[in-house]
Amino acid sequence: MNIVLFGKPGSGKGTQAPRLAEALGVPTLATGNVLRDAVKAGTPLGREAKAFMDRGDLVPDQVILGIIRDELAKSEYARGVILDGVVRTVPQAEGLAAMLEGLGRAVDAVVSFEVPDEEIVKRMSSRTVCSTCQTPYSGRQPGDTCEKCGGTLGRRSDDEPEAVRNRLKVFQAQTSPVFDWYRRNGGRLVVVDATGAVGDVTQRVMHALGR
Ligand SMILES: [Zn+2]
């Protein structure tokens, strides 16, 4: 079972990914992690990616998809994968479909985590991060003390309401075409209400997937 997780920043994809992995018995693959690992391991594509990063450029989709393809060839992904953060644009959706086809696989379902914008703004602005060790907290105030290192908690500037609303606008513009693309190309779109308790959201996803 090959699943793509899809949702606004702050919609809880990253929280749900490991829970779904356990429930479905397939590993997760997050773009940021495999990219970091490939760069560290110095694979040919990892070195290519590093050259872009060193110049301060975005790593092109084709390089990232190549790195994901190398990873998916490993035996632990034989039964499927939960892809987190892989598809945000139409070219990425197209590239992923072509890459999976080359492996004799396909996207079985795209799970979209639906959270109203104002709920996301609320979630982000209740998030603080330790300015020393970067541990994230939820429901703590800026100026509180970090339990791990005694550092001071602060709010990241891109978690401020105005910045969050801007990111949501950019996301909306990029991603509604992705939805249309999957509809036209016969992908199975699973839309899940991602508000409420973490465990409830996991259950909704499993139910929507027919598990
Ligand atoms: Zn700390």
DSSP 91-139: HHHHHHHHHHHHTT----EEEEEE--HHHHHHHHHTEEEETTT--EEES
Q: How far is the CA of 10 from the centre of ligand 1 (A)?
A: 21
Structure confidence at residue 159 (pLDDT): 86
Distance 145 CA to ligand 1 centre (A): 8
Q: Tell how far the Cα of 130 is from the centroid of ligand 1, in angstroms.
A: 5
For ligand 1, the distance from its centroid to the CA atom of residue 137, given in whole angstroms, is: 10
Neighbouring residues of 29: CB distance < 8 A, sequence distance ≥ 6: 68, 71, 72, 77, 81, 82, 83, 84, 86
Average pLDDT over residues 20-25: 96
Q: Is 8 a catalytic residue?
A: no
Q: Vertex 95, ends 93 and 101: CA angle to 5°? A: 100
* 137 in Cβ contact with 165 (< 8 Å): no
Structure tokens at 82: 């939960």
Give 159-203 pLDDT, tens digit per residue: 889 999 999 998 888 888 998 899 888 778 999 999 999 999 999
Catalytic: which of 105, 155, 156, 165?
Answer: 156
Give catalytic status of residue 204 as yes or no. no
> What does residue 117 show for φ and ψ, rounded to 5 degrees?
-50, -45
Give yes or no: 122 in active site. no
- Band the pLDDT of 10: cuts 50, 70, 90: confident
If one counts every other C-beta atom within 10 angstroms of the C-beta of residue 144, the result is: 14
The catalytic residue among 19, 69, 88, 165 is 88
Say which residues have a Cβ less than 8 Å from residue 54's Cβ, sequence separation at least 6: none
Where do we find the tokens 């975005």? 58
d(CA 88, CA 17): 16
Annotated catalytic residue 183: no
Instruction: Report the separation in Å between the CA atom of 25 and the middle of ligand 1, taken as the mean of its atom positions.
Output: 33
Summarize the confidence of residues 40-54 as an average pLDDT. 96
* Distance (Å) from CA 43 to ligand 1 centroid: 33
pLDDT at 17 over 90: yes
Cα–ligand 1 centroid distance for 11 (angstroms): 24
Task: Using alpha carbons, list the distances in angstroms from residue 56 to 48, 50, 86, 87, 177.
Answer: 13, 10, 20, 21, 27
Q: What is the pLDDT of residue 88?
A: 86
Q: Which residue among 19, 50, 155, 167 is the active-site one?
A: 167
State the pLDDT confidence band at 132, using cuts at 50, 70 and 90.
very high
User: In angstroms, what is the span from residue 142 Cα to ligand 1's centroid?
Assistant: 13
Per-residue confidence band for 56, with pLDDT thresholds at 50, 70 and 90: very high
Task: Reply yes or no on whether 79 is catalytic.
Answer: no
- pLDDT tens readout for residues 79-122: 999 999 889 889 999 999 999 999 999 999 999 999 999 999 99
Q: What is the pLDDT of residue 98?
A: 94
CA distance 153 to 148: 11
